[in-house]
Amino acid sequence: MTDPIYVSDAHIPPMSDPTHGAVAMARWVDDLVHEELSEPFALSEARLYVKSVGQSQAAFLLDSDENPYRLLERTNQHIPVKAAALVVTGWCAPTDPSDSIGRRPSEHPMRQRVRITVAIDAHGIATVMRRDGAPNDPEVMDDRGEGELPDALERWWCGELV
Cβ proximity of 55 and 48 under 8 Å:
no
Measured CA to CA, the distance from residue 1 to residue 125 in angstroms comes to 31
Position 126: which residue type? A
For residue 160, give the nearest of 53, 49, 7 by alpha carbon: 7
The whole-number pLDDT of residue 102 equals 67
Count other Cβ atoms within 10 Å, centred on residue 111. 17
Residues 6+ apart with CB under 8 A from 25: 49, 51, 59, 83, 84, 85, 119, 120, 121, 126
> In degrees to the nearest 10, what's the CA dihedral of 31, 14, 71, 5?
110
What's the average model confidence in pLDDT over 9-21? 42
**Range with top average pLDDT, 3-7, 94-98, 105-109, 112-116:** 112-116
Measured CA to CA, the distance from residue 94 to residue 4 in angstroms comes to 44
Spell out the alpha helix ranges (H) of the chain: 21-36, 68-74, 148-157
Read off the pLDDT band of 101 (50, 70, 90): low
Of residues 117 and 94, more confidently modeled: 117
Read off the pLDDT band of 32 (50, 70, 90): very high
Read off the pLDDT band of 100 (50, 70, 90): low
Mean residue pLDDT of the chain comes to 82
Give Cα 162 to chain centroid, integer Å.
19
